[in-house]
């Protein structure tokens, strides 16, 4: 299962103040990392059959000065508490933005493949449609804390409502545990919350974006 913590900031200034702080920088191993643009398209059937199963399916387009590729991701259930998210996850990097369900089932990397086949059982590509989308800038860092290795993501962008008007901020630090202990992840979370005013965030970008896509006003 993937384990990560999501920490929200009130504005761009507070987010980047934390990301450029002496404490945060001292734990990063690739300070020359450049931001990428991430366009996210969330897929489901018209009757939300994936969502009803606890599954989210995403097409993500990565672009930067040096890269241009797609990644398809399926996430399944898990639990959320105090900003720490646990879920099953599978990913497949592609050069094309066309989703091939059979290829995804065979080649996606992540958790148990039998579980992936079960949660996508009966779904066809023809039945999938884009529910909602968002775009934000992300900078990746190799973050080392205590005895653990994490991927730190600095995310900034806007969520728009059904009329195309900005209605919510994506203003977050995500720490994904790659190797080590949940205790180290929890301690890093506390340091960022106490030191920089971040708030542990239980809601996903999908949930916020889906709600905004149904709204003509603020969410």
State pLDDT tens for residues 155-194.
Answer: 999 998 878 788 889 999 999 999 999 999 999 999 999 9
79 in any annotated domain: yes
Instruction: Write the CATH number for 45.
Output: 2.40.320.10
Per-residue pLDDT band for 215 (boundaries 50, 70, 90) equals low
pLDDT digits (tens, 9 = 90+) for 45-65: 999 999 999 999 999 999 999
For residue 11, tell me if it sits in a domain.
Answer: yes
126 within domain boundaries: yes
High-pLDDT (> 90) share of the chain, %? 89
Q: Does the residue 160 lie in any domain?
A: yes
The pTM is what? 0.92
Number of domains in the chain: 1
User: Residue 13: inside a domain, yes or no?
Assistant: yes
Domain ranges, residue 141: 2-213
Q: Inform me whether the pLDDT recorded for 203 exceeds 60.
A: yes
Q: Residue 130 domain-assigned?
A: yes
Domain-embedded: residue 132? yes
In a domain, 218, yes or no: no
- Provide DSSP, the chain: -EEEEEEE-SSHHHHHHHHTSHHHHHTBS-TT---EEEEEEEEEETT-HHHHHTEEEEEEEEE-SS-EEEEEEEEEEEEEETTEEEEEEEEEEESSSS--HHHHHHH-EES-HHHHHHHTTT--GGGEEEEEEEEEEEEEEEEEETTEEEEEEEEEEEEE-TTS-EEEEEEEEEEEEEES-HHHHHHHHHHHHHHH--EE--S-HHHHHHHHHT-SS--
């Amino acid at each position: 299962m993937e384990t990560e913590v999501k920490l929200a900031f009130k504005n761009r200034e507070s987010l980047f103040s934390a990301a450029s702080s002496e404490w945060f920088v001292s734990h990063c191993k690739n300070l020359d990392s450049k931001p990428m643009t991430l366009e996210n398209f969330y897929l489901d059937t018209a009757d939300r059959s994936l969502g009803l199963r606890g599954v989210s399916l995403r097409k993500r387009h990565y672009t930067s000065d040096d890269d241009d590729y797609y990644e398809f991701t399926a996430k399944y259930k898990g639990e959320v508490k105090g900003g720490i998210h646990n879920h099953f996850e599978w990913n497949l990097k592609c050069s094309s933005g066309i989703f091939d369900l059979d290829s995804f089932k065979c080649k996606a990397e992540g958790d148990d493949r039998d579980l992936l086949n079960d949660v996508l059982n009966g779904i066809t590509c023809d039945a999938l449609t884009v529910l909602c989308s968002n775009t934000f800038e992300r900078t990746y860092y190799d973050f080392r804390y205590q005895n653990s290795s994490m991927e730190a993501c600095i995310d900034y962008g806007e969520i728009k409502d059904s009329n195309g008007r900005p209605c919510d901020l994506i203003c977050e630090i995500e720490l994904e545990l790659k190797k080590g202990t949940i205790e180290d992840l929890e301690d890093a979370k506390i340091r960022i919350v106490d030191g920089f005013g971040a708030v542990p965030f239980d809601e996903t970008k999908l949930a916020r974006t889906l709600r905004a896509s149904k709204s003509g006003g603020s969410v």
